[in-house]
A and B are shown apart, each in its own frame.
Chain A
């Protein structure tokens, strides 16, 4: 198949429009028969399993419902547990160590609600259009805005990918594993996941790894937190953080950046498309996204709670990396708890490295109009797999370069994610309100209100950060 301009001009198919028409019943069916790809076959196999589960579940609705959910859960859980990545978990850990139990616990849960609002829109967009986010931006807004949007994504993804390998190195460093070996292990896992040649297998392997994000829960329990104080904080958002305004604002930014970032939009939409989800799967997609947000918020709060002993004992954790947090926690949560914490940081880095490098590869494939599916064999989609592997290798290599400015990357990555988010949200909201693209699935009033509120909040926090940078004494230094 060719995607050349000539072919496009000679296309027997008209302009794209939202439809739920089955391909076999479409006027173009005869033309499509000879053009089916390996990707189509794999996707059809996945669709058959969903269809069979739906049919089998007609009599026993609950069981059938669960089977359908099992088949359709994936992109939402992956995107949220992927975003509970190494810098995010370190950001939560720094929050717990600096401010203890209080305002930041409900605030982190609130940021996941913001994430839920945003990611729900990507589910609908992907299921209705069957196209990735980058492709739709290029299609509807043109190359000029498309390249700006890609620039934000590429910069953010690459910086974040570097921090994932820093996390992998730090997590395994706790067990005395040398940095080169740790980074090599991380890279091998990314390669192993991408060589499955099947979206479904890739998704299940990555989900299997992602569930280990829950290691922060036993680490938190071993910290013997005051659960009454946690409950009180959740209900009252108190005690409020006590410290320099600029420091609090930076942690607020970092915690938002740990939950709401541009790569999540691009990744989940592309994953929904690669999974073959259709408009009838939107409800299941919403459940998937809600489940992901719920799990990630519990694990994020657990990371805060696990480091609260450092706050109570006045340990200065402002310069801590992953392994240092784990080592500092040994007196209070023991070797087992500290090992769980370090493994959690390692896992967070691994899963995010897989998801973020895949997100970059999807976006590049969509823009270059080449194969961009994990259902494609490598020989058919080598630019896609090269981007995936190349970005992971470059980030891994950079982490091993002595004196590389990694401190700069760690400090800026979550902040850049928050600052790059408003334009990404603007494109998302414009697309889900575009009736030519979404048909009957356009945003309703409340979805728009919530989406706009999230965008305005992010802009305000960003402006606050800008003011605090230009006028350092404005918020108390």
Chain B
């Protein structure tokens, strides 16, 4: 387990300051090395335990989403009608 100072040193491998660590093949068995290569919210465990949480939907957004939903449902019916017509006329 590296000490805090070591952890800080390996924490920014993407910067120009940590050149030797970047060139040498990393030891991915060392979790500190893995964490130094990933962003905080890129680690699976961190993602699984955090959520952006629901946003408040304004009236305008609700109207937009419902309008588009009704549009899709209505159009799907028309697609089925159109396809059945096309198949009938082909036969």
Query: In the complex, how many residue pairs between chain A and chain B have their CB atoms under 8 Å apart?
Result: 211
A56 partner residues in chain B, CB cutoff 8 A? 23
Separation of A384 and B65 alpha carbons in the complex (Å):
29
* Residues B79 and A44 in contact, CB atoms below 8 Å apart: no
Count the A residues whose beta carbon is within 8 Å of the partner chain — how many?
80
A54 partner residues in chain B, CB cutoff 8 A? 14
Say yes or no for A16: interface residue by CB 8 A criterion.
Answer: yes
Q: A22-B36, A466-B74 are in contact. Are A37 and B16 (CB under 8 A)?
A: no
* Residues A52 and B22 in contact, CB atoms below 8 Å apart: yes
B80 shortest CB reach to chain A, Å:
8
Task: Tell me the interface secondary structure of chain A in the complex.
Answer: helix
Separation of A52 and B76 alpha carbons in the complex (Å):
50
Q: A13-B46, A16-B51, A416-B79 are in contact. Are A423 and B38 (CB under 8 A)?
A: no
* Residues A470 and B78 in contact, CB atoms below 8 Å apart: yes
Query: In the complex, which residues 56-86 of chain B have their Cβ closer than 8 Å to any Cβ of chain A?
Result: 57, 61, 64-65, 68-69, 71-72, 74-76, 78-86
A37 partner residues in chain B, CB cutoff 8 A? 44-45
Q: A11-B50, A25-B11, A26-B40 are in contact. Are A419 and B45 (CB under 8 A)?
A: no
- Output the nearest chain B residue to A410 by Cβ-Cβ distance: B83
B86 partner residues in chain A, CB cutoff 8 A? 411
Separation of A36 and B32 alpha carbons in the complex (Å):
10
B16 partner residues in chain A, CB cutoff 8 A? 55, 58
Say yes or no for A39: interface residue by CB 8 A criterion.
Answer: yes
* Residues B35 and A422 in contact, CB atoms below 8 Å apart: no
A470 partner residues in chain B, CB cutoff 8 A? 78
- Output the nearest chain B residue to A130 by Cβ-Cβ distance: B42
CB pairs A–B below 8 angstroms (24 shown): A1-B45, A8-B51, A14-B50, A15-B51, A15-B53, A16-B41, A16-B47, A23-B40, A36-B43, A36-B45, A48-B26, A55-B19, A56-B23, A129-B52, A140-B52, A140-B55, A141-B57, A141-B65, A412-B83, A419-B71, A419-B72, A419-B75, A423-B68, A423-B71
Residues on B facing A (Cβ under 8 Å) = 7-8, 10-14, 16, 19, 22-23, 26, 28, 31-55, 57, 61, 64-65, 68-69, 71-72, 74-76, 78-87, 90
